[in-house]
Structure 1
Amino acid sequence: MMNRECYSFRAMNTDVHVIEEFPWQEGSKEEMKRWFQEVEQTCSRFLPANELAQFNEAEVGTVVKVSPLLFEVIKRAIHYSTITDGYFNPLVGRIMEEIGYDRSFEQMVEIEERYDPVIVQREVAPLQFDDASCTILKQTEEKVDLGGLAKGWAVDRGGRLMRQVGVAEGQLNAGGDLTMWGDQETLIGIAHPEKEAVDIAQFYMREGSVATSNKVFRSWRQGDIQRHHLLNGQTGLPADSDIVQATVFAKTTAEAEVIAKVLCIFTFDKALSWMLDHFPHAAALIIHENGQVKVSHTIKHYTKKLMLS
């Protein structure tokens, strides 16, 4: 007998929603919650004594033994930094702190002092990975910030765990980082960039991964400057772009998260061409600050019907 289960829980500073249809197994809800909690406890930069914090505090030149989980997420982050030409940059943890994003967003306060970040050019690889020993040679003073990548990666792995135990039809959504699989098409909404309760677009999808980045919801003031959490990894500065939101469809949720973040760095007229040059399989819907919407032609690979509001 097939059973449909829907449940939600709070983890990684967001709401996680799970829909699964499979021969019922006890304890799946608790297992999924424990998984997201494990990723959060390991990868969040807002927990001062966790494994990521210990790695960030290690001295330059140190070979650091880390857990397989942290090893894989940091290595994946550096991989995406390389293939995006540094526009996605996980080595901005210290800059994030200096511009005021040094705590979970709901706890943030306005900052009077202004800070102008600088990205240091490196002659050696900042981090070197040894797969056999699960160690990382740290050759930079910069702090790692795994942010949305860790959340997207947790969604991907969570979906894999569900499929491994026989979930033939399922959805896993962590604050807009979504993966889904199965035979049944589902109607999914893309939130308006300034009105979370309103959809600016809707689409039907059967299988795939989606993530959205938005410059509006996580913004604050530092001195006389309006800051937000989407940094240009090449400059260390909050992205100066006319794009307010990007929704990306990709092979994995982690990849969609990275691409969406980078698209918000580019201008409206150049973003999609950059994406198709670097990630030709991906698709995106981007929104200009004046409300104009642009969709890549590759959207047809992910949905047969996209409706704009």
Structure 2
Amino acid sequence: MGSRFDITVVAANEEIGYINIDEAVAEIKRIEKLISSWDPDSETALINKNAGIKPVKVSLELFKLIERTKQISEITDGAFDISYSSMDGIWKFDGSMTNMPTKDEIKKSMAKVGYEQIILDSNEQTVFLKQKGMKISFGAIGKGYAADKTKELLVSKQVVAGIINASGDLTTWGTKASGEKWLIGIANPLSKDKIFSWLPIVESSVATSGNYEKFVMFDGKKYTHIIDPRTGYPSQGVNSVSIFSKSAELCDALATAVFIMGKDAGLSLINQLGGTEVILVDSNNKIHKSSGILFDNNP
């Protein structure tokens, strides 16, 4: 999935542990085959290929995943949208951009974006993208989904405890072999090599969206790689968002959505959702958190 996965399991002995890890790797590869928009043989690629042409019958697993992405789009007012990949890639964060895109270019690139144009037919189990050239991709939810499914598989194989870490989107179950809780370190926004708080996570997941890795600068202003699918412009006002919830899939999607929604709308949404918490660092490196997170605010 273009990401590093680290898999930790607690097992009776090393041999069983490695068998479990091999099973986990096989499950991650299976999901990649399903959701990769780069693999021309995947169901996702087939949906994209038939955009504006005809509905595509898909497996129940993919259908349900797309159904859930549309629900997240609705509760986040479109800040999360798997059709964002229909944008014509006018923002580039590989060092090749020399000018800001024009308003017209941005408007044009947005023409095929819109989760409302992903038509699902539950009777036929089909997915149809209304416009030619429309595309969906699971970049903002796929790693979390893979982490959840891999955990589910290992739990079904009686693996008592472990961590699936998909490049920072991680899910845990059970405890360390010593009986201690798994701890996650929250990085200091001013120096991501330093930890300012350790939080125990029990049967839980966490995902982080941050702007410190990919961005471009124009006229002294920083534009991050996280684009708001509603405007076509990079998000402003937030440096990082960490979401805590039972489901890694939900954490993954909401971390992106809250980053885009901004501090006030994002915190308000999370405070209304049961069993979900957030730590948000704004562009002045001030830390904000939802009502269920208890720790001292000063890094």
Q: Report the TM-score when normalising by structure 2.
A: 0.82
Matching residue of 1:116: 106
Matched, 1:127 2:96: no
Q: Which amino acid aligns with 1:100?
A: K
Matched, 1:237 2:207: no
Q: 1:90 offset after TM fit, Å? A: 1.0
Matching residue of 2:128: 137
1:266 pairs, out of 240, 252, 261, with: 261
Is the Cα contact below 8 Å between 1:128 and 1:136 reproduced in 2?
yes
- What aligned pairs does 1:1-309 form with structure 2 within 5 A after superposition? 12-23=1-12, 25=16, 27-47=19-39, 50-95=42-87, 97-100=89-92, 108-112=94-98, 114=101, 115-117=105-107, 119-120=110-111, 125-131=116-122, 133-141=124-132, 142-183=134-175, 184-193=180-189, 195-220=191-216, 227-240=223-236, 242-277=237-272, 279-299=273-293, 309=299
Change beyond 3 A, Cα 1:258–1:132: same
Deviations 1:174-225 (A, max 9, x none): 1111111115412211234464432243212222111111122132469998
What stretches of structure 1 of length at least 5 have no aligned partner?
A: 1-11, 102-107
What stretches of structure 2 of length at least 5 have no aligned partner?
A: none
Change beyond 3 A, Cα 1:307–1:235: closer
- Greater CA deviation, 156-165 or 182-191? 182-191
- Greater CA deviation, 158-167 or 203-212? 203-212
- Residue 128 of structure 1 aligns to a residue whose secondary structure is strand
- Root-mean-square deviation (Å): 3.0
Change beyond 3 A, Cα 1:30–1:190: same
d(CA) in 1 for partners of 2:220, 2:20: 48
Count of matched residue positions in the alignment of Structure 1 and Structure 2: 286
- Residue 137 of structure 1 aligns to a residue whose secondary structure is strand
Deviations 1:105-136 (A, max 9, x none): xxx34234624145459999422334454321
d(CA) in 2 for partners of 1:244, 1:47: 32
- Greater CA deviation, 13-22 or 186-195? 186-195
d(CA) in 1 for partners of 2:162, 2:267: 30
Q: Which amino acid aligns with 2:248?
A: T
Q: Report the TM-score when normalising by structure 1.
A: 0.80
Change beyond 3 A, Cα 1:82–1:263: same
- Residue 260 of structure 2 aligns to a residue whose secondary structure is coil
Change beyond 3 A, Cα 1:123–1:51: closer
Change beyond 3 A, Cα 1:203–1:123: closer
